[in-house]
Amino acid sequence: MKLTRRDFLESSLAATVVICAVPPAGAAAGQAYNLELRPGTAQLVEDRSVLTNIWGFDGKVPGPVLRVKQGQPLSVTVTNRLEQPTSVHWHGLRIANAMDGVPGLTQEPIAPGETFTYRFTPPDAGTYWYHPHQRAWEQVARGLYGALIVEEDSAPDVDHDMLVIADDWYLGDDGAIDEKSFGNLHDWSHAGRMGNILTLNGKPYEHLEVASGDRVRLRLIGTTNARVLQLAIPNLRPWIVAHDGHPVTPYLASSDGVELSPGQRTDLIVDVPGKPGDKIPIVELSAGDKLVAGYIVIGEGTPKARRTTATPTALAANPVTRPAAVADQTVNLTMTGGAMRFLASAQFKGEQLDGRTLALDHGQTWAFNGVSGMPASPLFTTRRGETINLKMRNDTLWQHNIHLHGHHFVELSRHAPGGDGARTVTTDRADAFQDTILMQSDEQSEISFVADNPGKWMIHCHMLEHQASGMATWFEVT
Ligand code: C2O
Ligand code: CU
């Protein structure tokens, strides 16, 4: 499925400037929120007469921005006004297991009409997000997601703190969500369900209004089901200051922009020069074309003096324990299956089944270590505080995007495929803590983390169709 846009970077830009209000940063000081998951409508396409029926937190997409200070308790009372059971997962937060929102592992699903209160204290500052963990492949695709911002004790010196939540939608010509593609086994066994419409913050062409000379923090969040986005601001020179919530030593983003796989976050700080009325495009490059995703717009006002400090100072590190140099346990995680390398057989719910039965009777087309879907027993069990090295192999022809719950890891090494043994490649996230990692076909990656959060935690592919069709497991910290 190809993304379509009216605006390409090379095309002449539209004459009329539409400036939308952007909610002020830090507006909500409270630490208690109520959220309703319910149907709503959103204007996802440019034609203002077309509204799309979505499911959203408080009926909106994205849902309300939740803000809390690092180390402060937060409570979110969630009411399910949908016709199916649900749950809410706080992606990337290292919180108590009972609050992790995984039905069947950490809680019962929240039935229609029921309420559940999540209470937790985020230990790490940064950019996170929330989304259902029940039929996520449908519920997230219909619009159920929002940003959760954990504020640093001392915020960086910026004039704006803005969200850029990027999503693709699969809409029909009438602007309605294509429902018949939900559960499509072809998508599940290939790259996942791809959209044809791109939105930033739930809008067809988001306009982020700043003043000339402003320094802006942009929090990029990828909420696609499966598409790996590549976002860039070609006219500006943004610094990358954090990945997956965790500070990195600021470095300039390459002109290729920032890769944002499903669930990943990247924080940018960027200085915006220019004159009132300038529209600076934010583009999406994954398809090779420069599709305009939205704009930074310079509003009226006297330009500020340029900042004197060139590079922004690094954000304070979060209290994550570095893994030990020698692991207490090394665990293998081998991914198999999918189109063109279909599973011959795999275990599913304790039974060994052939690939055809797995796919046609159970919708399972992928496996971790020869097991499709959530196994009854954990991938591994560890005592609290142990360093775990996870040696992952993607033996499929497709990309996968592995997400670890309740913990953050560092990547130790990456091996690209190659006939004469492996070539080590480094990624720009090397050494940074992260919770979601993209792997290419036939790559190997070794990640390491301290299992210091007691409970039962999922590991899964965050390409949500892959998760649903086999790529899910869990581990237990005792
Ligand atoms: Cu963002 Cu297991 O999920
Ligand atoms: Cu996958």
Q: What is the DSSP string of 204-256?
A: TTEEEEE-TTEEEEEEEEE--SS--EEEE-TTS-PEEEEETTEEEEEEEPPTT
Distance 233 CA to ligand 1 centre (A): 28
What 8-state DSSP symbol labels residue 469?
T
Which single residue is written with the structure tokens 């090295």? 389
Pull the structure tokens for residue 424: 């080590």
Contacts for 156 with CB less than 8 Å, ≥ 6 apart: 217, 241, 269, 312, 313, 315
What are the Cα distances from residue 163, in Å, to 69, 129, 152? Answer: 17, 11, 16
Tell whether ligand 1 has an atom less than 6 A from the beta carbon of residue 265: no
Residue 212 near residue 274 (C-beta atoms within 8 A): yes
Q: Where are the beta strands (DSSP E) in 14-114?
A: 32-42, 52-57, 66-69, 74-80, 89-91
For residue 309, what pLDDT is reported?
65
Please name which of 365, 371, 364, 377 lies closest in space to residue 333, comparing C-alpha atoms.
371
Q: Say if CB 381 and CB 478 are below 8 A apart.
A: yes
Distance from residue 427's CA to the centre of ligand 2 (Å):
19
Q: How far apart are CA 113 and CA 120, in angstroms?
A: 23
Is the shortest distance between the CB of 414 and ligand 1 below 6 Å?
A: no
* Cα(398)–Cα(42) distance, integer angstroms: 32
The residue type at 448 = S
Ligand 2 centroid distance, CA of 464 (Å): 8
Q: Which two tokens stand for residue 327?
A: 């692991």
- Does the Cβ of 458 fall within 6 Å of ligand 1? yes
Is 91's C-beta closer than 6 angstroms to any atom of ligand 1? yes
Q: What is the pLDDT of residue 16?
A: 38
pLDDT for the residue 9: 65
Q: Is the CB of 405 under 6 A from ligand 1?
A: yes
Who surrounds ion ligand 2 at CB < 5 A? 400, 461, 463, 466
CA distance 478 to 450: 13
For ligand 1, say whether the CB of 466 is within 6 Å of any of its atoms.
no
pLDDT at 10: 56
Q: What pLDDT does residue 431 have?
A: 72
**Residue 404 CB–ligand 1 contact under 6 Å:** no
CA atoms within 13 A on the CB side of 81: 16
Which pairs count as long-range contacts for 44-49, CB under 8 Å and 24+ apart, including other chains? 44/169, 44/171, 44/175, 44/197, 44/199, 44/202, 44/203, 44/204, 45/171, 45/175, 45/197, 45/204, 46/6, 46/204, 46/205, 47/175
Ligand 1 atom at minimal distance to the Cα of residue 262: 1
- Per-residue pLDDT tens listing for the chain (478 residues): 778 777 766 543 333 333 334 444 443 445 899 999 999 999 999 999 999 999 999 999 999 999 999 999 999 999 999 999 999 999 999 999 999 999 999 999 999 999 999 999 999 999 999 999 999 999 999 999 999 999 999 889 999 999 999 999 999 999 999 999 999 999 999 999 999 999 999 999 999 999 999 999 999 999 999 999 999 999 999 999 999 999 999 999 998 899 999 999 999 999 999 999 999 999 999 988 899 999 999 998 776 766 666 788 899 999 999 999 999 999 999 999 999 999 999 999 999 999 999 999 999 999 999 999 999 999 999 999 999 999 999 999 999 999 999 999 999 988 877 655 555 666 667 678 999 999 999 999 999 999 999 999 999 999 999 999 999 999 999 9
